Structure 1
Amino acid sequence: MATDKIARKLFLFFLIAMVTFVPFTVQEQTQVVEASKNTKEAVISQSPDLQAKIDAILSDERLLGTSTGVSIRNADTGEVLYSYHGDMRLHPASNMKQLTTIAALETLGEDYQFTTEVLTDGSITGNVLQGNLYIKGKGDPTLLEKDLDQFAKDLRALGIQQINGDLIGDDSWYDDVRLSQDLNWSDEQFYTGAQVSALTLSPNEDYDAGTVIVEVTPSDEAGGKAQVKVTPETDYVTIINNTEMTAAGGSKSISIEREHGTNNIVIEGAMPLDGSRSRSWVAVWEPTGYAMDVFKKSLEEQGIKLVGNTDVKIGVTPENATLLTSKKSMTLEELLIPFMKLSNNGHGETLTKEMGKVVYGEGSWDKGLQVIEEVVTDFGVNGDTILLRDGSGMSHKNMIPANEITQLLYAVQDESWYPAFEFSLPVAGESDRLVGGTLRTRMTSEPAKGNVKAKTGSLTGVSTLSGYVTSADGKKLIFSIMINNYLASSVRSIEDSIAVTLANHTFEE
């Protein structure tokens, strides 16, 4: 989204905030919703029994002082069956990922793949590459160490045993802005706030790009230090081990933190001799250099030596460079499984930049968010009442009403890629983490189990759940529950109660 558009929306928001607020009753909130070009006119279909049930759930004292919006639609007609502050702008948390996914499917297509290329501006003479070797990233968040190993094997198969030139990482496919504008400083060291680069690396098949896995386990002697393992092995991070082994039976107090602005990972605390493993996904600072360090190790393991005054650095691949080898990622449809089921923030931001690059030739948040807004408004979302700030939902400044989310989920059902979208949603009570995802431990009994398919969302003071459920009499329903500004330890049971009520409900003819 362009900066001036954001400014206009913020100005409108503050003007509205200055007007005296008059609380609305549930009945007053139940109003005609403006029709879009993609829907039949969405009108309230009174269901007094359902309204009474949901009203009773929303009387929970944990919601006192919160800003809560609930919207329920008939999935076949788009009719709004229930709306409680459904037009109130609220923070969606990871429900934002639904907008990003829908825009990506519409813009890129379910068969879209990312590409990583290895190129040279030189030539192979004997067993020596006379020239620079470039690895050009084009956003693939699923690149693994084994892929870099394969690149090295491919180069060795071409007869290359020495490189007389620089090893250059090219991340210019996207801009050099690594973090979305509203990410909290305290989130930067964790996998949930990892930096975004067009050339990056994931430590395992959860595909948390731009992170390393740090594991702390007991060593053999009290008074010594705990053992620390980093995956993948890399010299790009520096481990500062300040741990102490203590007697068996004692309490464990291990902390793993990266110092801001550096790749120093400090590990502190006590580890008992019989202590359990501590493990953390730590986001690295400047992930392009991380990918290059691991690639250099891959080359060395294949016996490919850097000779002369060779340097490892960041640069841009010449247009006339020769392609030596490349790799395509899994398809977007496949990527949506770890993205949506496990709520992978990095994937949301990468897809946002990729859409900006593909549509407008600029891999930036501004252009990517512009694409997302254009797509969702084409599906009937009112662009005048939303504010989009990132692709993952980590921002506390994203704003969208519950009625707009259910409108979007209604409008996309006729799209050819809709089955891929619906399949990506977490499924209540299904224990397989790549099926149930973030709902695998929630609503574990029928009729909600295996029936509720919805995206969760969680930030400090924010909890959301939006998706689909089939009622007891076979009606497919769309719902969005958005709870903001809560102070209770959890309000998820309120969301679950609403979803279970919908699954149990029978509509009067």
Structure 2
Amino acid sequence: MVLVPELTAGRFARRCGVRFAKLTTWQLTGGAAVVGLALAVGSVAAAGPWDSGQRTAERDRAAALEDGGGTDHGSPASRKDGNGKDTRARKTPAAAPSAPSVLAALAAPTGTGSAPVPDESALAKALDPLLNSGSLGAQRTAAVVDAATGKQLYGKGAGEALTPASTTKIATAVAALTAAGPDHRITTRAVVEPGSDKVGKVVLVGGGDPTLTARKDAEGNASLRTLADDTARALKVRGVEKISLGYDTSLYSGPLLHPIGPNWNIAPVSALMADEGRLDDSASGPAPRSGDPAADAAGTFAELLRDRGLKTETSDPSSAKATDRAEQLASVQSPTLSVLVERMLTNSDNDIAEALARQTALATDEPASFDGGAKAISTQLKKLKLPLSGAQFADGSGLNRAGRLSASLLTALLARAADPDHAELRPVLTGLPVAGFTGTLRNRYADDADAPGTGLVRAKTGTLTGVNTLAGTVVDTDGRLLAFAFLTTGTTDPKTAQSTLDRAASALAACGCN
């Protein structure tokens, strides 16, 4: 629980209402890419694959995450091992021996030199026994492409669109980075209405930043405490000692609740929230969520202002819309979209995913809603001339089962992100979890059959009941960077299905296939 002054009875009731509820963009051009790669490879030998792009705070955070993806992250209780030990206390793993080759392949996929392209028949021989396994349910599709050329080397129903679960986040990332830009930041503002001298009419205006935090250690995020410091200072300069506080969430439209309803994996999607509406101290992963994150964030802001010597007319702020005449008192900004994309992909963060979908909508003049975000993602990918046959977007996170993506589209997105001409998309690759090391792949690839992919496979997981997906990149034994996507529907044993998909990705890593 974030430590703030005691909650009023009204705020406590709202909060408990839904209890079940760095690397910035790689500029890899010319000699700079070579220099940057040399530095990264040198440091990764000591620090592990995290130095491919994650900030230290991100590394420490994701090292404590549990297995899972999509809606099946598991409850907080599931973060304990068979002996009841809390796995969140685990330390960052040692460096993967293969980490330098991962970095090298990501840094210059078209510079693979003499590394041969895998033979298609050899790939089929390695993958078919695994992808034909009964553990993968009634439907399964797959694609493997050469990241340097985009050529498909293996396909099994590759153009057929299935439920993608959280691999949807790859599409959301590409759309947001191209529409809003990798350096875009989300701003949260405090404004004051004119003519309010004796009692300042202050409005906290949400910009859609789910990483806004009330914690004392902001860890590089926009800080509600800093905003309170600057706001209080600006009001005192004006001679204002008493305020009425409102909060503005009008940037977003449509329903707040995701179609899956109140859920520990996502808060009500609001333009204003702090710490993703979490009601406990978890930084990511499933957690009980506030039923009204905007009101709670505004209530915390009011308490912080009172701590700084300001008086408020009422204990709880009310919803209000800032007028065009309102004057800005202070503002704070989120990390860049490139950082948010990495965090979203590594941690399978649904709150960030829905925020990025809405940022895509705002950048393309669509309503900032579930429907508007889905339409904006589709439109943006169409502009990029990606294979959208059969694709349907229902949200930005992949929690909605109505979504449909093909293996061909997912591998095309990854190949585009590896293209040196699209350096703005590099966070799509650097944010992917590393097998056996980070994020939602940290606790996978532990069995002997999966082990060849450890440190070499980088992939986004996807898990819904009866759905298991995996899409990412792998460096084969010849040093060639491959992009792959495996989608399955109708699985009955998620752990076995996950293991089969992990073994398929490991087969790519272990395959010279020439």
Alpha-carbon offset, residue 175 of structure 1: 1.1
CA contact (8 A) 1:369 1:390 kept: yes
Out of 401, 407, 410, which is 2:406 matched to? 401
Alpha-carbon offset, residue 311 of structure 1: 6.5
Determine if the alignment matches structure 1 residue 428 to structure 2 residue 502.
no
Out of 148, 152, 158, which is 1:80 matched to? 152
The structure with higher relative contact order (CA 8 Å, sep 6+) is 2
- Residues 91-240 of structure 1: matches in 2 within 5 Å? 91-122=163-194, 130-146=199-215, 147-158=223-234, 160=236, 164-180=242-258, 183-185=259-261, 188-190=262-264, 192-202=265-275, 209-213=276-280
1:450–1:325 Cα change, 3 Å: same
Alpha-carbon offset, residue 321 of structure 1: 0.8
What residue in structure 1 maps to residue 345 of structure 2? 340
Find the aligned partners of 1:288 and 1:481 in 2 and give their Cα distance.
Answer: 38
What residue in structure 2 maps to residue 48 of structure 1? 121
CA contact (8 A) 1:189 1:284 kept: no
Segment of structure 1 superposing worse, 406-415 or 331-340: 406-415
CA contact (8 A) 1:379 1:411 kept: no
Residue identity in the other structure for 1:154: D
Determine if the alignment matches structure 1 residue 362 to structure 2 residue 367.
yes
- Length, aligned pairs only: 382
TM-score normalised according to structure 2 size: 0.70
Find the aligned partners of 1:311 and 1:81 in 2 and give their Cα distance.
Answer: 60
Find the aligned partners of 1:91 and 1:47 in 2 and give their Cα distance.
Answer: 26
Find the aligned partners of 1:55 and 1:311 in 2 and give their Cα distance.
Answer: 61
What residue in structure 1 maps to residue 507 of structure 2? 501
1:349–1:92 Cα change, 3 Å: same
Determine if the alignment matches structure 1 residue 438 to structure 2 residue 440.
yes
CA contact (8 A) 1:356 1:362 kept: yes
**% identical equivalent positions:** 29
TM-score normalised according to structure 1 size: 0.70
More helix by share: 2
1:489–1:197 Cα change, 3 Å: closer
| Contiguous gaps of at least 5 residues in structure 2 | 1-116, 216-222
Residue identity in the other structure for 1:158: A
Alpha-carbon offset, residue 446 of structure 1: 6.1
Q: What do you get for the CA RMSD once the two structures are aligned?
A: 2.4
Residue identity in the other structure for 1:428: A
Find the aligned partners of 1:460 and 1:280 in 2 and give their Cα distance.
Answer: 16
Deviations along 1:401-452, whole A, 9 cap, x unmatched? 112211222233220213222111111122xxxxx11111223576422211
Residue identity in the other structure for 1:174: Y
Alpha-carbon offset, residue 77 of structure 1: 2.2
Find the aligned partners of 1:487 and 1:338 in 2 and give their Cα distance.
Answer: 30
What residue in structure 1 maps to residue 16 of structure 2? none
Deviations along 1:129-170, whole A, 9 cap, x unmatched? 533111101101111115232233223323638654521000
CA contact (8 A) 1:145 1:201 kept: yes
CA contact (8 A) 2:471 2:486 kept: yes
Residue identity in the other structure for 1:133: V
Determine if the alignment matches structure 1 residue 281 to structure 2 residue 253.
no
Find the aligned partners of 1:105 and 1:114 in 2 and give their Cα distance.
Answer: 13
More strand by share: 1
Out of 446, 466, 491, which is 1:486 matched to? 491
CA contact (8 A) 1:196 1:349 kept: yes
Find the aligned partners of 2:302 and 2:483 in 1 and give their Cα distance.
Answer: 50
Find the aligned partners of 1:59 and 1:310 in 2 and give their Cα distance.
Answer: 61
Find the aligned partners of 2:425 and 2:343 in 1 and give their Cα distance.
Answer: 17
Segment of structure 1 superposing worse, 440-449 or 139-148: 440-449
CA contact (8 A) 2:124 2:154 kept: yes
Structure index of larger Rg: 1
> Deviation above 4 Å: which 4+ runs of structure 1?
161-165, 444-447
1:80–1:280 Cα change, 3 Å: closer
